[in-house]
Structure 1
Amino acid sequence: WSLAILGPGFFVGSWWLLSAAPLAAAVTHYRVVAGEERFLSERFGDEYESYRRTVRRWLWPLRR
C-alpha cells in the first residue's frame, strides 16, 4: 500500500499522501506481516523458523 500511496502523492504533489506512506508501511509491517509470520510458524513449525533465519523479510535488514 505504501507504494500505491507514494506514486499518486508524487504525481499530484500531495504532502498529505506522501506523509501517509510511512504510516501505511508501518501498518503493513506490524499488522499484516507479523500476522502472516505467526500463521506460517504455527502451520509449518521448525521448518518455517529455519527458513526465517536464512531469508530476509525485506530487501534491507530490519529488526525482527
Structure 2
Amino acid sequence: MKTLVDWPARRLWPFVFCLLLYVGLIGPELISAASTLAVVVGLVVLALLLAWGYLLLRRGFTHKE
C-alpha cells in the first residue's frame, strides 16, 4: 500500500493532473455548491492538494544527488 501512495506523491505529473482537474472541473462546482457538505469536501480536497504541492516543493529543494 505504501508504494501505491509513495509513487504518485514523488512525481510531478500526477500532481499537475489533479490540480488542473480540481481547478477546471471539481473545485468551482464544489465550492459554489448549495450543500455545506460539498463545500467542506471541496475545501478539504484543496487543502490536500496544497499539502501535496508543499511536499513536492520541499522535496525538490532539499533533494541531494
Same fold (TM over 0.5): no
Larger RCO: 1 or 2 (CA < 8 Å, sep 6+): 2
Q: Identify, as 1 or 2, the structure richer in helix.
A: 2
Larger Rg: 1
TM-score by length of 1: 0.41
TM-score by length of 2: 0.40
